[in-house]
């Protein structure tokens, strides 16, 4: 089973949604990074990471978000958004400083609409 389910949405531009299906760990971190690199190589520039199925976040999960951001930000802008982030995870992301460069939205739709 893949670590993410991928779907496409469209607001004013195409947006790829990565629905995180399992907790990011050392076992699947490389898979998530590879999927992100492949999506970027295939022209996907705007990605929403849906964390709705996550109750907790490991340090490798936070690192995965930073790596995803770096891969996508090579072209400039703020190409990675987070959606449906549980309160405890949101707090950890805020304390760690990740929210200074990755925006968080309550819903996937709101995150998709933020790309303009």
Which pTM value belongs to this model?
A: 0.94
Give the pLDDT of residue 88.
Answer: 93
Asked whether the beta carbons of 65 and 102 are under 8 A apart, the reply is yes
Q: Report, as ranges of residue numbers, the positions in the chain whose pLDDT lies below 50.
A: none
Asked whether the beta carbons of 89 and 68 are under 8 A apart, the reply is no
Q: What is the CATH number of the domain that holds 64?
A: 3.30.750.24
**E strands, the chain, in order:** 4-10, 14-20, 47-50, 80-83, 103-105
Give the pLDDT of residue 1.
Answer: 67
Range of the domain at 99: 4-113
Give the pLDDT of residue 11.
Answer: 73
What is the rounded CA–CA span in Å between residue 112 and residue 96? 24
Number of folded domains that form the chain: 1
């Amino acid at each position: 089973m893949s670590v993410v389910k991928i779907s496409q949405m469209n607001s004013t531009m195409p947006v790829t949604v990565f629905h995180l299906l399992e907790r990011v760990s050392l076992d699947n971190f490389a898979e998530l990074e590879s999927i992100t690199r492949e999506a970027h190589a295939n022209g996907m520039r705007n990605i929403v990471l849906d964390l709705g199925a996550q109750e907790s976040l490991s340090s490798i999960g936070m690192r995965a978000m930073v790596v995803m951001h770096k891969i996508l930000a090579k072209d400039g802008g703020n190409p990675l958004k987070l959606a449906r982030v549980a309160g405890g995870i949101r707090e950890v992301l805020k304390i760690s400083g990740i929210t200074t460069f990755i925006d968080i939205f309550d819903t996937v739709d709101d995150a998709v609409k933020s790309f303009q």
